[in-house]
Structure 1
Amino acid sequence: MDWLRLLFCAVLVQLCAAGNETRSTFTYEMVAKCKEHICKHGYKYETFYKIDAEDREHVISDASVALEMHIAILAANNGHILLSTKANPTVTDPVYEIVVGGGSNKFTELRRNLRRNGKISKPTVGILSAIEFRPFFIRITTDGAVQFGKEGEEPLLDYRDNNHLAIRYFSFAAWNGVEAKFCYDCPPKGTNSSTTNSEAVDPLMSNADKLKAALLQDRAPHLPPASPVTIRLGFKITSLKYSPFTSKMVTGVAIVASWVDDSMAWNPDKFNNITKLTFSDGQIWRPTFFLFNSEDQGSVDIDNPGPITMVNSGEATYYFQTHLTSWCFNYAKTTNNWPHDDYHCSIVIAPWEPHEKITLEQISHADEKMAIFAESNKVIPNEWSIEWKQGVVEPSAWHTIFTANDNDTNQSDRFLVNIALRRRATAFNVVFYTPLLVLVLFVLMSFWSEPLQMSRVWFYAGSTVVICVGLCYVDYLVPIHTVPTILVLYITVMGGVLLALLLQVLLMTPTAERLCQTHSVQSLLRSSMFRILFFLPPVKSAENYDRINEAYSGEEDEVTPPRNGNIPEMETETPTPSERDEVAAALDWFLFLVYSLVIAVMLAMHF
């Protein structure tokens, strides 16, 4: 078995060695013999190269070969090669387009038109590399054979075109988000002279492109046009979301920035009456901002940045949208009136570059530059009603507010937006206040029911359990940075219910009965003022003055016989309330009065 293992390892080593011999490599010495093209703008053929036909005839020795190219590609995937009869072909023009490593580096395809009409495709997983150059060849014969493959190997793609093209131009492209580097006009392996000699073709430029090229010549795009530079800033809130649990506010905003660059002004009469140009982000300077009270200290991220528009007077306008996440909290208060809570938050926007001195001016909502946001960016309604004001804070005023910051470095203005938030609490009112009001109502009604009954004890106990269960889950809904007064209401009601439960149970004990028969309690119960105040019936006279409401024990009165001797007279006796019953009735009236006043005052303070 050991000799089989050794034999297998020897065969494996030989295979690896053979693979390394046949694998085409492209060293940096070979790169130095080529020309280079870099693609950074996605699937777009920007620069075309013209092939020198006369020079090619002297290099190619094989008369059957109409075109032979040796190239190398450094890309993660999607290296696109375009061969055409003219520069800047359209989608209807016949071309050869070779897609190398398409579909995330999984296939290679030959197309007969731009982006369509594929003729032959092969699976080629891992054909390109993002860390090393991969060499390839392209060969087109006079009889219409179009071949593409790895350098030193058999063609991967071999297509016979009966109506073959006379190639005079070629170009390169990549894919969106992919940066590709192409080496072209490379010599074949083992030689020093290339089979092609090409030159870049001047791109077709419109009058606007020529004007832009003239304005951007020898211009640093990262430097502001002046110091200080005045920027007119328009601000509109398009959405807002606030979380009381994290004290963070996410605000969707639409912003327009406008400034004047005198060095970019031009005379329309000299440039075919062109009065407006558009520049992409990075071609010219634009202001960059950051959020002062943000959760991070990076510059403001722009959602879907648009072009910078400039008119012939040099006035530039830049529209963009973004989402600002800012802190918003106030620990000065210990309570809040949630769910009718309100917050006062601020958004402070400042220039990002400290060396740029920027003066800000506010653009009103009635300005024509803000008209672009009139319909497309309506405020999305949610649980918060908002009111906001905006203004500019000068450096001198800012320095007096934030004295601890390094205010000598950044001398620019700040843009301040004050926002007042108030919760639309309709749903919360139904969920939280309805059970509270129903519970309060039944507790107050219980004081008018028959005292010293177990039914009332069970009612109080059940109410306590319900409130406790609700308070166990309410912390998932209620922010607890400060104490919501609605929790104070619930806890107060629960405390009142527990107090009523305790008093009810104590009055039902024999100790309470003996206490009610003491001389002090009897004296209090005989007081006419006490009985009037607590709506007790008048006290009855009794021979035993130590007890009240005792049945009269004098001589029996003369009984009047009934009118009809055959029908016995029905006599009803009203039960006489005991001292404990009267104390319980007086206590119920007292608790009803106190509870009503306390709950009414707390509700008024809450709202």
Structure 2
Amino acid sequence: MRYYLLYLVTAMLACVVCGTANSSQRSALHDSVLTGYNRRIYPDVQGGGPVQISVHFTLMALKEFDVQMSRFSVSGFLTSSWKDERLKWLPSDHYGITSLHVYQGEIWTPCFVLWNSDESLDKLGYNDAPVRISSDGSVIWNPGEVFVTSCNADVTYFPFDIQCCTMDFIPYGYNMDEVNLTTDVYLASTDEPTLNTMWEVLHTKLYVTDKNHEHMLHVSITFRRRGLIFVLLVIMPVVLMSLVNLATFFIPVEEGNRIDFATTMLLTISVSMTVVGSYLPQSSLPQISIMCYMVSIHVFISMLVMVFAVKSVQIYHKPDTEAISATAKLFTKIMCKGREKTTIVSPEFKEHNKVEEFEKPKWVTSSDAEEMNDDGKYTTKDDSPSRTDLDDNITWRDVGSSFDRFSFLVFILLIGILDTVTVTIVARGGDVKVLI
């Protein structure tokens, strides 16, 4: 037992000595590598030319997209790697150490600036940020933060709109002869935490362009609105209230509350539109949302329903002594075609449609109004009412009923076409952008 405890204590002391020695070795290597190093001078490249910096972006989360303020913010890491010949060492001369951590403020790093920042044009990273260097002079720098940029929203196809925002990074102060940016991959990396309650990230794009003899890194992020909630809050209430408003034409005029119902529905729709309008994006560039036009047209249709309801009541209450025009009569017959109109054909005319059969006495001479059939029986001529008689039996109530039917058909067709076309354009407009 005594020997076991002695062995354990010896092993623990050895581990402490080894750990201290490793720290000392790394400290000695740190001093050796950075002695005489000037972090304000960019590194030289063998054979001359600009410093080759490979960049890549990792998206962590889409934090916010404010349509009205044109404000877009994400969190992520901009990973950069390059070679600095001044940071080389031989691992065999430094206890086999092949890599070392230093602080960002101790070595040269490219002065990356978010060019289209919505807050400040500060350099990425901070002095105490860790940077890994390797024995062959390779440097890996991975600054991460929340990037806030300005991004104009296109809400034309709200609530199925798809937005595309771009972050522009430049190595501030260095031209293409000094620093050259390259990217190994076309797409930026995305991590699981990119979920957002309002937006869904579709894809990212990473590319480099030239601007004013300087390289610029572009990180493009395409994302789509989760629009189901707006279908329930915007589209459905507008459509349902407009359809309920058409019930005005089913209320009998004799009840006397048709105008009251139409007025109440108009006020209800007007108040509801103010609530619905709060969910619509408050942006007019580059174009107002199509849904804004749809809501405005529905309000206008409700006003027309009110006007048509008043006109219908006016037609119903016209006196019978007032003559009905031929156009109104033709309109009534067209709208009532295929429907039996008891008010048009009076009951006394129905008796004339019956065929009277009897044997005429021989002493009775036949007149022009009677004819003999093949069985030797006499029939009277058809005394059914003529077209003129039918027209004379059309009343203003018949015209009003036809006007109600016509109004309902017109508005139900108008609302159906408006909603179908609007939703189709909005939905397909979003899908077209996905393909692009």
TM-score (structure 2 length as normaliser): 0.71
User: Is 2:240 the partner of 1:438?
Assistant: yes
Residue identity in the other structure for 1:592: I
Measured at CA, do residues 269 and 517 of structure 1 come closer, stay the same or move farther in structure 2, by a change above 3 Å?
Answer: same
- The aligned residue for residue 219 of structure 1 is 37
- Please name the residue that 2:58 is paired with: 236
- Residue 397 of structure 2 corresponds to residue 596 of structure 1: no
Which residue number in structure 1 is paired with residue 11 of structure 2?
none
Cα pair 1:288 1:352 within 8 Å, conserved: yes
Aligned residues: 355
Question: In structure 2, what is the equivalent of residue 549 of structure 1?
Answer: 344
Matching residue within 208, 219, 229 for 1:393: 208
Quick one: higher RCO (CA 8 Å, sep 6+), 1 or 2? Answer: 2
2:103 paired with 1:280: yes
| Preserved contact between residue 534 and residue 590 of structure 1 (Cα < 8 Å) | no
Distance 2:33 2:320 in 1: 103
Give the one of 308, 315, 322 matched to 2:145: 322
Deviation, 1:305, is: 5.6
**Match in the other structure for 1:568:** none
Contact 2:262/2:309 (8 A) holds in 1: no
Q: Which residue of 1 aligns with 2:164?
A: 344
Residue identity matched to 2:81: S
Q: Give 1:212 shift.
A: 1.9
Match of 1:185 in 2: none
Q: 1:476 to 1:490 in 2, by over 3 A?
A: closer
Q: Are 2:253 and 2:316, in contact at CA under 8 Å, matched by a contact in 1?
A: no
Which residue, out of 354, 367, 387, partners 2:174?
354
How far apart are the structure 1 equivalents of 2:144 and 2:73? 13
1:293 correspondence with 2:113 = no
Q: Which residue of 2 aligns with 1:505?
A: 310
After superposition, the C-alpha distances for 1:299-329 in whole angstroms (9 at most, x for unaligned) are 2443896311111111011122111111111
1:499 and 1:235 mapped to 2: Cα distance? 56
| 1:581 partnered with 2:401 | yes
Map 1:352-501 to 2 at 5 A. 352-354=172-174, 357-364=178-185, 378-395=193-210, 398=211, 407=212, 411-448=213-250, 450=252, 454-482=256-284, 483-501=288-306
| Alpha carbons 1:506, 1:512 under 8 Å: kept | no
Q: Cα distance, 1:605 vs. partner?
A: 2.7
1:39-58 CA-partner distances (Å, limit 9, x unpaired): xxxxxxxxxxxxxxxxxxxx
Determine the C-alpha separation between the residues in 2 that align with 1:292 and 1:366.
20
Aligned partner (choices 227, 233, 251) of residue 74 of structure 2: 251
Q: 1:491 Cα deviation (Å)?
A: 2.1
Q: Structure 2: any 5+ residue segments left out of the alignment? A: 1-21, 353-393, 428-436
How far apart are 1:393 and its partner, in Å? 2.4
CA–CA distance in structure 2, aligned partners of residues 476 and 287 of structure 1: 45
CA distance in 2, matches of 1:364, 1:594: 52
> What is the Cα deviation at residue 346 of structure 1?
1.2
Distance 1:290 1:364 in 2: 21
Aligned pairs for 1:527-546 (under 5 A) are 531-532=333-334, 535=337, 537=339
Letter in 2 for 1:583: F
CA contact (8 A) 2:233 2:276 kept: no
8 Å contact from structure 1 (residues 234, 365) kept in 2: no
Measure, in 2, the Cα distance between the counterparts of 1:245 and 1:278: 44
* Percent identity of equivalent pairs: 17
Q: For residue 532 of structure 1, report the CA deviation from its aligned partner.
A: 4.2
Partners of 1:273 and 1:480 lie apart in 2 by: 62
CA displacement 1:379-407 (0-9 Å, x = unmatched): 24331112333333242xx4xxxxxxxx2
* Residues 239 and 252, structure 1, Cα contact 8 Å, conserved in 2: yes
The answer to whether the Cα contact below 8 Å between 1:350 and 1:414 also exists between their aligned partners in 2 is: yes
- For residue 90 of structure 2, what is the amino acid of its counterpart? N
Equivalent position of 2:329 in the other structure? 525
How far apart are 1:295 and its partner, in Å?
1.9
Cα separation, 2, equivalents of 1:592 and 1:421: 36
Structure-2 separation of matches of 1:229 and 1:220: 16
Which residue of structure 1 aligns with residue 374 of structure 2? none
Provide closer, same or farther for how the CA distance between residues 316 and 497 of structure 1 changes in structure 2, counting only shifts above 3 A.
same
Q: Higher Cα Rg: structure 1 or 2?
A: 1
Give 1:173's aligned residue.
Answer: none
1:481 is paired with a residue whose SS is coil
Q: Where in structure 1 are there 5+ consecutive unaligned residues?
A: 1-203, 399-406, 541-547, 558-574
Cα contact 1:467–1:490 (8 A) shared by 2? no
Relative distance call for 1:352 and 1:454 in structure 2 (3 A) is: farther
SS in 2 for 1:508: helix
Contact 1:300–1:322 (Cα < 8 Å) also in 2: no
In 2, the alpha carbon distance for the partners of 1:554 and 1:475 equals 59
The CA RMSD over aligned residues, in Å, is 3.5
Letter in 2 for 1:361: T
The one-character-per-residue Cα deviations of 1:161-214 (angstroms, maximum 9, x if unpaired) are xxxxxxxxxxxxxxxxxxxxxxxxxxxxxxxxxxxxxxxxxxx98222222222
Mapped to 2, the partners of 1:290 and 1:446 lie a distance apart of 63
Q: Is the CA contact (8 Å cut-off) linking 1:340 and 1:423 kept in structure 2?
A: yes
Q: CA deviation at 1:245?
A: 1.5
CA shift for structure 1 position 424? 0.5
2-structure distance, mates of 1:236, 1:313:
25
- Specify which structure has the higher proportion of helix: 2
Asked if the contact 2:61/2:74 (under 8 Å) is kept, the reply is: yes
**Cα gap change, 1:364/1:305 in structure 2, threshold over 3 Å: closer, same or farther?**
farther
Task: Call closer, same or farther: CA 1:249–1:515 in 2, change over 3 Å.
Answer: farther
Q: Is the 8 A contact 2:195 2:201 kept in 1?
A: no
What one-letter code is carried by the residue in structure 2 that aligns with 1:426?
Answer: L
Which structure dedicates a bigger proportion of its chain to strand? 1
In 1, Cα distance between the equivalents of 2:187 and 2:410? 63
- TM normalised by structure 1 equals 0.52
Q: Is the alpha carbon distance of 1:533 and 1:594 closer, same or farther for their aligned partners in structure 2, counting shifts above 3 Å?
A: farther
**Counterpart-to-counterpart distance in 2, 1:595 and 1:588:** 11
- CA deviation vs aligned residue, 1:41-80 (integer Å, no higher than 9, x gap): xxxxxxxxxxxxxxxxxxxxxxxxxxxxxxxxxxxxxxxx
1:309 aligned onto 2:132: yes
The residue matched to 2:143 in structure 1 has which SS?
strand
Please say which of residues 255-264 and 295-304 is displaced more in the overlay.
295-304
Query: C-alpha deviations, 1:251-298, integer Å up to 9, x for none?
Result: 111121111112211111112211111111211111221112222451
Q: 1:526 to 1:429 in 2, by over 3 A?
A: closer
Q: Which whole-Å CA distance do the structure 2 matches of 1:535 and 1:592 have between them?
A: 20
Q: Following the alignment from structure 1 to structure 2, what is the Cα–Cα distance between the partners of residues 606 and 363?
A: 37
**CA separation of 1:556 and 1:430: change in aligned 2, threshold 3 A:** closer
> CA–CA distance in 2 between the matches of 1:348 and 1:471?
40
One-letter identity of the residue aligned with 1:319: N
CA 1:394–1:506 in 2, change beyond 3 Å: closer, same or farther? closer
